[in-house]
C-alpha cells in the first residue's frame, strides 16, 4: 500500500486557509530524502515534483515511484505527500499514471486552446476514476525548463475559466512568472491578471510556477489572491551547488574520508533542507499536515 496521496485535499485546505503548499522538484535520492525529512520535521504537507527530464535521469518513473514509496515507509513519513509529474506531455501523463504517481500536471499551454481542452478533459476522466489530482496550464510560463523556452505570457482569464470548469484539481496560469532566475529588468507578477483569474475560477486552487527568486511580499500577495501551490526548483539546485562548491573549495574532500559520497553530498543536502524550510515558513504550510 502506497502512502502517497492526491494533492486535492491538501490544496483545498490551503486555498481555504490562505496558505500555499510547496512543490519541490526532485533529482535524486538525496533531494527526495532532504525534502521529505523537512516536511516531516515541520509537519507540512508537500508535493514532490518530477519533470520528464528528471524522471528520465532517475531511470524512469517506476524507479521514482519505488524510491519515494520506499522512503515514505522507511523514514516513516506521516505528513501528506503527493508525487506529481511536472509539465507533463500527454504521453508522459499516461506513463506516470501507469507507474503509480498520485498527481499529474498536463501542460497543454503550447497547444491551441481547443486541443488543450480536449486532452485535459480526457485526463480529467482518467484521474477522477483513479483518485489522482490533475493540474492544467493556461498561458505559458517563461524561462527554460527541460530545454523548452516559454515566453512568460499572461493567461486569458476566460480561457482559465474554461479549463477550470473541466474539473481539474488545480490550475497553473501564467502571470508574468518565469522558471529559473528572474532577469534584472523583470516587471514582477501581474496581480491584475491573478485577480481576474481568481474572480472567474472561484475556489480553484491556483498554482504559481517559477517560485525561485520571487520576493516574499509578492509571494504573500499571490497567496492572498488564491495561489495555493507554489513550485520551487532552481533555488534548491543553487543551494546544493553553493554548499557542494564550498566543501570542495575548502579541500574537505581531501581530508580523511571526505571523498565518501555520504560526506561529499551531505552539505548540499543540508542546504536543500534549509531552503525548503525557509519556503515552507514563507508559504505558511508549517504545522498544516492534519
Ligand atoms: P523555478 O525553477 O524557477 O523555481 O521553477 C520551478 C517550477 O515552476 C517547476 O514547475
Q: What confidence tens digit (pLDDT) does each residue in 34-78 have? A: 999 999 999 999 999 999 999 999 999 999 999 999 999 999 999
Average pLDDT value for residue range 10-17: 98
Q: Is the pLDDT of residue 128 over 80?
A: yes
Of 231, 238, 241, 279, best ligand 1 pocket probe by most atoms within 8 Å of the beta carbon: 231
For Cα atoms 217, 33, 82, give the angle at the middle one, nearest 5 degrees. 65
Among candidates 73, 78, 70, which has minimal Cα distance to 45?
A: 78
235 pocket-lining for ligand 1 (C-beta < 6 Å): yes
Return d(Cα 63, Cα 100) in angstroms, integer.
10
Rounded to the nearest whole angstrom, what is the distance from the C-alpha of residue 260 to the centroid of ligand 1?
A: 31
The dihedral formed by the CA atoms of 260, 264, 265 and 270, expressed in degrees to the nearest 10: 120
Quote the ligand 1 centre to 175 CA distance (angstroms): 14
**What is the predicted pLDDT for the residue at 107?**
94
The superfamily (CATH) of domain 8-283 is Aldolase class I (3.20.20.70)
Which distant-in-sequence residues (6+ apart) come within 8 Å of 20 by Cβ?
14, 208, 219, 222, 223, 227, 228, 229, 230, 283, 284, 285
- Does ligand 1 have an atom closer than 6 angstroms to the CB of 180? yes
| Domain map (residue ranges) of the chain | 8-283
Residues 6+ apart with CB under 8 A from 98: none
C-alpha 160 to ligand 1 mean position (Å): 20
Is 278's pLDDT higher than 90? Answer: yes
Query: pLDDT tens digits, residue range 73-92?
Result: 999 999 999 999 999 999 99
Say how many Å lie between the CA of residue 265 and the centre of ligand 1.
23
pLDDT at 149 over 60: no
Ligand 1: does its nearest atom lie under 6 Å from the Cβ of 234?
yes
Q: Higher pLDDT residue, 154 or 241?
A: 241
Residue reference for cell 515514505: 72
pLDDT of residue 185: 87
Res 147: pLDDT? 56
| pLDDT tops 90 at residue 143 | no
Give the integer Cα–Cα distance in Å for 234 and 54. Answer: 13
Q: Is the pLDDT of residue 122 over 70?
A: yes
pLDDT at 246 over 90: yes
Asked about 86 being catalytic, the answer comes back as yes
For residue 134, pLDDT beyond 70: yes
- Cell 508549517 maps to which residue? 286
Residue 230 pLDDT greater than 60, yes or no: yes
For ligand 1, atom 5, name the residue with the nearest CA. 210
Given a contact cutoff of 8 angstroms between Cβ atoms, the answer to whether 272 and 236 are in contact is yes
Tell me what the pLDDT averaged over the chain comes to: 95
Which pLDDT tens digit goes with each residue over 209-226? 999 999 999 999 999 999
Amino acid at each position: 500500500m502506497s502512502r502517497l496521496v492526491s494533492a486535492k485535499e491538501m490544496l483545498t485546505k490551503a486555498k481555504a486557509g490562505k496558505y500555499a503548499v510547496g512543490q519541490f522538484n526532485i533529482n535524486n535520492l538525496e533531494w527526495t530524502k532532504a525534502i521529505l525529512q523537512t516536511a516531516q520535521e515541520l509537519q507540512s504537507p508537500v508535493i514532490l515534483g518530477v519533470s520528464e527530464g528528471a524522471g528520465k535521469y532517475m531511470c524512469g518513473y517506476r524507479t521514482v515511484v519505488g524510491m519515494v514509496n520506499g522512503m515514505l515507509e522507511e523514514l516513516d513519513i506521516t505528513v501528506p505527500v503527493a508525487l506529481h509529474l511536472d509539465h507533463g506531455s500527454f504521453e508522459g501523463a499516461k506513463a506516470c499514471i501507469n507507474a503509480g504517481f498520485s498527481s499529474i500536471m498536463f501542460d497543454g499551454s503550447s497547444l491551441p486552446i481547443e486541443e488543450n481542452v480536449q486532452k485535459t478533459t480526457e485526463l480529467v476522466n482518467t484521474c477522477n476514476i483513479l483518485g489522482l489530482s490533475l493540474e492544467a496550464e493556461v498561458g505559458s510560463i517563461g524561462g527554460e525548463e527541460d530545454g523548452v523556452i516559454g515566453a512568460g505570457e499572461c493567461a486569458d482569464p476566460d480561457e482559465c475559466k474554461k479549463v477550470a470548469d473541466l474539473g481539474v484539481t488545480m490550475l497553473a496560469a501564467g502571470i508574468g512568472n518565469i522558471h529559473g532566475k528572474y532577469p534584472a529588468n523583470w516587471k514582477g507578477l501581474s496581480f491584475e491578471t491573478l485577480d481576474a483569474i481568481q474572480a472567474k475560477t472561484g475556489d480553484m486552487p491556483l498554482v504559481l510556477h517559477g517560485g525561485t527568486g520571487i520576493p516574499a511580499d509578492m509571494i504573500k500577495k499571490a497567496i492572498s489572491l488564491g495561489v495555493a501551490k507554489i513550485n520551487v526548483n532552481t533555488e534548491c539546485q543553487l543551494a546544493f551547488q553553493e554548499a557542494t562548491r564550498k566543501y570542495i573549495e575548502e579541500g574537505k574532500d581531501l581530508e580523511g574520508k571526505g571523498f565518501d559520497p555520504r560526506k561529499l553530498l551531505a552539505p548540499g543536502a543540508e542546504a536543500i533542507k534549509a531552503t525548503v524550510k525557509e519556503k515552507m515558513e514563507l508559504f505558511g504550510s508549517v504545522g498544516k499536515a492534519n
